[in-house]
Homo-oligomer: A and B are copies of this chain.
């Protein structure tokens, strides 16, 4: 296997944490988004969509997208399970992963990419350029507040997002919550359940990477 990573970006970090939680050592190449290496011919020959992370399997399949990589690794290396055991658990993991991607990951990315000068004309990842839309950043900032509410409601009733066990959904949420520092957003002080969950996840070895 060969893993294409980027040490500074949140989506590759999700895959990196998943790989570490599985206890796997995978040969890794770091692609610098800061230098625009993901848009170079060498990387686009691997992934024409110019997104990271990417995992090339031993069978030669090129898997982009976190869920593609996670589904492959979970099936090939089932222990420890990170995507649930029973049908209900598997449903809850992908449900919470989707909710976090749409309600958290997207608005955080929208806020950053539509304001920060580093993303001028790069408001969306991928090979096409798109101008920034300042109104979208404002909307994103409002939605991030709702995302923190949503996490607190869930984590006040459940130790982890999908239930009693740490799963992929927690990796996704942890990485996005941590990344929200780039838009100067932190877990609100009164959100005690989320703060406790964050501290627990942040202490895992996989979170140090």
Interface, chain A (partner B; CB < 8 A): 48-49, 55, 57, 59, 61, 63-76, 83-84, 86-88, 90-99, 103, 123-124, 126, 128, 130-131, 133, 135-136, 139, 142-143, 146, 150, 153
Contact = CB atoms under 8 A, between A and B. Distances in A.
A92 B57 CA distance: 11
29 contacts: A57-B87, A57-B91, A61-B88, A63-B88, A63-B91, A63-B95, A65-B94, A65-B98, A65-B99, A67-B67, A67-B94, A68-B91, A69-B91, A71-B84, A71-B87, A71-B94, A72-B87, A72-B90, A72-B91, A73-B87, A75-B86, A75-B90, A76-B87, A103-B126, A124-B143, A130-B142, A133-B135, A133-B136, A135-B135
How many copies are assembled? 2
Contacts of A55: 91
Q: Which label, helix, strand, loop or mixed, suits the secondary structure of the A interface?
A: helix
Contact of A139 (B49, B71, B93, B130): B130
